[in-house]
Amino acid sequence: MRASQLRQRTSGRFAMGNLAVKTITMLGLPLAVFFGGIWVMLKISDRDYVIQRLRQSAAPEDQKPLQQRLGYDAGAVNRHWGALDNTAL
């Protein structure tokens, strides 16, 4: 098979428009599912109530969510979770 015939056979499969659609789908769909899942969990878990409760009863240094801190120790975890009531847990 000559190079020109091979190019002609494969050019339809690797067209730029087709490649762009596949790339957007491969990257966009998992990201949409991931961030959609985060949004659903925030709504189901009533995150707004937890944030309100932390603002009311936690010390200022313990109001920031644990996953947003650069580091924390066991005492910080106890203070953070201790500021929540049974409804928030």
pLDDT one-digit tens code per residue, 17-76: 688 888 888 999 999 999 999 999 988 888 888 888 888 888 888 888 888 888 888 988
Measured distance CA(79)–CA(4) in Å, rounded: 71
pTM metric for this prediction:
0.49
Specify whether the CB–CB gap between 61 and 80 falls below 8 A.
Answer: no
DSSP state of 61: G
Confidence (pLDDT) at 37: 95
- Sign of the four-CA dihedral 20, 27, 69, 86: positive
- The residue among 3 and 26 whose pLDDT is bigger is 26
